[in-house]
Amino acid sequence: MASKPWSGRFIQKTDKLVEEFNASISFDKRLYRHDIMGSIAHAKMLAKVGVITKKESDKIVGGLKNIEKEIDAGKFVFTYDLEDIHMAIEKRLTEKVGSVGGKLHTARSRNDQVALDIKLYLRDEIKEIQNLIKNLQKTLVDVAKKNLGCIMPGYTHLQRAQPILFSHHLLAYYEMMKRDYERFAGCYKRVNVMPLGAGALAGSPYPLDRDFVARELGFDKPTDNSLDSVSDRDFCIEFCSAASILIMHLSRFSEELILWSSHEFGFIELSDAFSTGSSFIEIGDAYTTGASIMPQKKNPDVPELVRGKTGRVYGNLFSLLTTMKSLPLAYNKDMQEDKEALFDTVDTIKECIKILSPMLQTMEINKERMFNATKGGFLTATDAADYLVKKGIPFRESHHIIGKIVAYCIKNRKALEDLTLKEWKWFSKVFDEGIRKIISIETSVNSRKVKGGTALEAVKKRLKEIEREIR
């Protein structure tokens, strides 16, 4: 068994069970690049302030770069007895460059080191996630532009409410993604503060140049309180919270795609490449519906899984909040539990955003079904009420009159567009021929020209602005 860097004060060996229980190497090895990057900056700074010599620093930096190559190439063997990525790399460094490797950890603790590593890692991931969000936004805009004339029912309470442009509906998700993007940008700001130099908890007796390290690593500035530096995981929680809101949006969208692709709606059809059948089993060259008793099925598994994965992303947020809730200052080993929740959140939201774009690009949109669904459901009843208002009737009264007309239509199995002018006039004298145009679906949509409204004119205007936003 390798002796541990901290084994000085210990007489007995660590119990095998404890060794495994304590270790985080199985998951924190993914931080190796960032750990090495941080160590290089630290070694350079130690030489700069004269704690180690330039020669020693160069040797350490060279060794660290070599180790990175070893890990990149899959040649590095990770074992439990090395506990975590920080110790694994430090141990290997001493093997490679000799006892000078032991100088790297001067004026540093794993407590400030791990905080640094997570921040370096998260910065990269946030940037990547923001790019993925932009991509999805571009797809939404693309599909919205291609289907500009397409009208569908808009819903409240999942009841058909008023006709809207399909593009307007898609762009609602664009706006949500825009806020998600901004939330990650806000999170990035608080990630981008450099904790190294806090030591174990109290700061360092060495004349460290923390500004130099911050600059070297592209941080905005060093942190201001050593205790806070090593015990802060707000930035992980914030990240998981932004991720939860993001995936909540993706889940709502997925839910709509699932509904829309059902036979009952029939608004869209997901491409075969993004759907699955029920349990096809390959026998020889032939495909046969082995376990499935439903050969007709085409399932929207992809949006269902996105919706399903929302659960674990929320769970990760709660796991982190709960882990942190009663920890006294400063570092506690409980905090090692931050990583799996964080990594799983990163992986999950990335794969979900990634898969939605091609799925949207390849889905078929059934414009006729969408448009037909706007008919017969009195979706322009509000427009008829507004018509009466324009003729001078107070809104409440107009509302009541139209309500009566709708009841009459239901009783006589008629749509608003089936009514003759004579019938309209039974309910109010002020109706004239004009009402026919008012209750047309297109008129209804295009009358909503207000900023943010669904009229073609308003949507086109917003699209122009958006094009500037996502350039």
Residue 327 or 365 with smaller CB distance to ligand ARG: 327
For residue 110, state whether it binds ligand ARG (rule: CB under 6 A): yes
Closest to ligand ARG by CB, 195 or 300: 195
List 99, 157, 263, 326, catalytic entry: 157
Rounded least distance, CB 66 to ligand ARG, Å = 23
Window contacting ligand ARG (CB under 6 A); options: 287-295, 333-341, 353-361, 376-384: 333-341
At 154, give phi and psi (nearest 5°): -95, 150
Cα(48)–Cα(213) distance, rounded to whole angstroms?
10
- Residue from 35, 81, 84, 238 that binds ligand ARG (CB under 6 A)? 84
Number of residues that bind ligand ARG (CB under 6 A): 9
CA distances from 301 to 281, 314, 356 (A): 17, 20, 12
Tell me how far apart the alpha carbons of residues 316 and 325 are, in angstroms, rounded to a whole number. Answer: 14
Which amino acid makes up residue 442?
E
Indicate the helix (H) or strand (E) that contains 268: strand 268-269
Triad 439, 444, 450: Cα angle to 5°? 150
Is 323 a binding residue for ligand ARG by CB under 6 A? The answer is no
DSSP string, 188-213: HHHH-EE-TT-TTTT--SS---HHHH
Q: Does the footprint of ligand ARG cover residue 226 (CB under 6 A)?
A: no
Distance separating alpha carbons of residues 118 and 94, to the nearest angstrom: 24
**Part in contact with ligand ARG (CB under 6 A); list of ranges 155-163, 328-336, 351-359, 393-401:** 328-336
Spatial contact of 220 and 129, defined as CB atoms under 8 Å apart? no
Nearer to ligand ARG, 61 or 114 (CB): 114
Chosen residue from 111, 316, 345, 454 binding ligand ARG by CB under 6 A: 111
- Smallest gap from Cβ 333 to ligand ARG, in A, equals 6
* Residue that has been written with the tokens 């397409």 in this structure: 150
- Rounded Cα gap, residues 54 and 39, in angstroms: 15
Active site residue 278: yes
Q: What does the DSSP assignment read for 319-381? A: HHHHHHTTPPSS--GGGGGHHHHHHHHHHHHHHHHHHHHHHHHH-EE-HHHHHHTTTTTTTTH
Please report the beta strands in 61-186, taking only residues with DSSP state E, as ranges in sequence order.
151-156, 159-165
Return the exposure string of 324-350: e unless at least 16 CB atoms fall within 10 Å of the residue's CB, then b.
Answer: beeeeebbbeebbbbbebbbbbbebbe
**Least separation, in Å, of the C-beta of 90 and ligand ARG?**
12
Q: With respect to ligand ARG, which residue has the nearer C-beta, 123 or 309?
A: 123
SS3 content of the chain, % helix, strand, coil (to 5): 65, 5, 30
Among 97, 107, 114, 120, binds ligand ARG (CB under 6 A): 114
Shortest Å, Cβ 85 to ligand ARG: 8
Cβ-based nearer residue to ligand ARG, 269 or 340: 340
Taking contact as CB under 6 A, which single stretch among the options 110-118, 247-255, 283-291, 376-384 is the one that binds ligand ARG?
110-118
**Backbone dihedral angles phi then psi of residue 161, each to the nearest 5 degrees:** -120, -65
Min dist. Cβ of residue 179 to ligand ARG (A): 32
Q: How far apart are CA 336 and CA 23, in angstroms?
A: 9
Least distance in Å: CB of 103 to ligand ARG?
19
**Residues 24-43 contacting ligand ARG, CB under 6 A:** 24, 28
Of 57-65, 242-250, 329-337, 450-458: span binding ligand ARG (CB under 6 A): 329-337
Nearer to ligand ARG, 28 or 180 (CB): 28
**Closest CB to ligand ARG among residues 39, 111:** 111
Q: How far is the CB of 42 from ligand ARG (least distance, A)?
A: 15
159 forms bridges with which residues in the sheet?
156
**Binding-residue pattern over the window 252 to 281 for ligand ARG, x denoting contact by CB under 6 A:** ------------------------------
Q: Do 191 and 219 form a contact (C-beta atoms < 8 A)?
A: no
Task: Kindly indicate which of the ranges 90-98, 107-115, 263-271, 281-289 contains the residues binding ligand ARG, using the contact rule CB under 6 A.
Answer: 107-115
Report if residue 319 touches ligand ARG, rule: CB under 6 A.
Answer: no
Catalytic hit among 109, 271, 278, 399:
278
CA atoms of 27 and 277, how far apart (whole Å): 35
Residue that has been written with the tokens 């999942």 in this structure: 158
Q: Tell me: does residue 335 bind ligand ARG (CB under 6 A).
A: yes
Radius of gyration for the alpha carbons in the chain, expressed in angstroms and rounded: 31
Stretch that binds ligand ARG, among 109-117, 255-263, 356-364, 427-435 (CB under 6 A): 109-117
Which residue among 336, 374, 398, 446 contacts ligand ARG (CB under 6 A)?
336
Kindly indicate which of the ranges 124-132, 268-276, 311-319, 332-340 contains the residues binding ligand ARG, using the contact rule CB under 6 A.
Answer: 332-340
Residue numbers annotated as active site: 157, 278
- Binding residues (CB under 6 A) for ligand ARG: these are 24, 28, 84, 110-111, 114, 333, 335-336
